[in-house]
Structure 1
Amino acid sequence: MVAIFVRTESFREFRTYYPITFLLLCIHILLWALFLIPAQPIQSLFYNFVGYNGAIGQGEYWRLATSMFLHNSFAHLLFNSFSLFLFAPRLERELSRYKFLGFYIACGLLANVLTFIIQPAYYSHVGASGAIFGIFGAYIYFIRNKTIYFTKSDQQIVIVLLIIGLLSGFLNSGVNNVAHIGGFISGYLLTILFARK
């Protein structure tokens, strides 16, 4: 069994074996590059896609989905994309392509809905963290129920990185901890449904 974090595929192999993960990574990068263009129409489009609770409360529900694919800094983009690159392939393989896509979007949406419910109207957010923490939730479900084999080192890495991710969110300002926790819980619970054969 290959460890979760070992990526030995070539670019073409990665794209072939994990097409949904590859697609999500491309969307992250392309949108980041697009919204770097300092043109007013493009910048307006960005702000219309941000998860702004006040606007969501007035019926702009698409923001719950579009905000999952945006990032507000290069470091934010790099961290989320690298996490997706490392963690998503194993889950895409286990669930199948379309189940994984549904799982990923569902986790991100539920995390953003929880953010809308709990955070104040002036709160705004972007990022794929809710969906990525959903992947952690799935792995914790698999480890706890011994549904899928993980090496001891893989189990330890998942648990340690999950704890670090949650703690760093509380130690740094501007982090959407509600989405992190909501995504993790959603991922854990949704795995019961999506992992069913």
Structure 2
Amino acid sequence: MFIRNEKLNEYMRLYPVVTTLIILNIVLHLIKIIPGIGPIMYLMGIGSNEMVAYGQWWRLITPIFLHADFMHLLMNMFSLYIFGPDLEKLIGKMRFITLFLLSGVFANVATYFLQPLSYIHVGASGAIFGIFGAFLALVYYTRDNIPQLKQIILPIVGISVVLTFLGSNINQTAHIGGLIVGFIIGLSYFHPKRIMSWKK
């Protein structure tokens, strides 16, 4: 788990949702640096609590696909590249995209309600923390049957949460909000009765 040794074409074939999300984020970041249209697109899509308050509700969604700079993009897409495929394989394409989007949106909603009106933010990290939360739910259900999974997941999530509070310019509200929402959705996805219904 979390070891990626697939060739590029194999990776894209096996994990179409993760691949699409990575490509979409990269393409939007490339558009961002195009003079003229790039800055306009970025300004229209960033998460701005003040603009949301004025009715621009799309800003609860669009920040998931925008990043401040290349390193910001690289870190988030690397996390998605490493941790996304195993979850997409476990729960399927539609459940994965639902988890990703809902975690990201609710992370932004939490940011809107808990951060100042002047707060501005971008990034997919709330959605990525939703992936971590779903894995925590899987650990919750398998803690007695697959203890090795707990030994892998808990340190990863623990380190990620610690870094959230140690780093600068990090939307801590989005990270924790995404983690909680991902965990709640994961509890539904990985419930033993739900798993049995998948197999029917």
TM-score relative to the length of structure 1? 0.92
In 2 relative to 1, CA 151–121 (structure 1 residues): closer, same or farther, beyond 3 Å?
Answer: same
Q: Which residue of 2 aligns with 1:160?
A: 155
Looking at structure 1, the residues matched to 146 and 17 of structure 2 have their Cα atoms a distance apart, in angstroms, of 22
- Name structure 2 gaps, 5 residues minimum: none
Partner of 2:73: 77
SS in 2 for 1:62: helix
Task: Call closer, same or farther: CA 1:62–1:176 in 2, change over 3 Å.
Answer: same
- Please point out which of 27, 52, 57 is paired with 2:48: 52
- Out of 21, 24, 33, the residue aligned to residue 24 of structure 1 is 21
Taking a change above 3 Å as real, the CA distance of residues 150 and 108 of structure 1, as seen in their structure-2 partners, is farther
- Whether 2:5 is the aligned partner of 1:8: answer yes
Q: CA deviation at 1:150?
A: 5.5
Structure 2 contact 111–174 (Cα < 8 Å) conserved? yes
Aligned residue among 59, 62, 65 for 2:61? 65
Shift of the 184–6 alpha-carbon distance from structure 1 to 2, 3 Å rule, reads same
Matched, 1:118 2:122: no
What does residue 91 of structure 1 align with?
Answer: 87
1:33: which partner in 2? 30
Contact persistence 1:142–1:148 (CA under 8 A): no
Distance 2:152 2:124 in 1: 20
What's the % identity of the aligned pairs?
Answer: 36
For residues 170 and 20 of structure 1, the distance between their equivalents in structure 2, rounded to whole angstroms, comes to 30
Superposed CA RMSD in Å reads 1.7
Higher RCO (Cα < 8 Å, 6 or more apart)? 1
2:191 is equivalent to residue 193 of structure 1: no
Give the number of equivalent residue pairs. Answer: 192
Check whether the contact 2:143–2:150 (CA below 8 A) recurs between aligned residues: no
After superposition, give the CA deviation of every residue in 1:127-148 in whole Å (9 maximum; x if it has no partner). Answer: 0100100111111111121189
Deviation at 1:179, TM superposition (A): 0.4
User: 1:103·1:194 contact (CA, 8 Å) conserved in 2?
Assistant: no
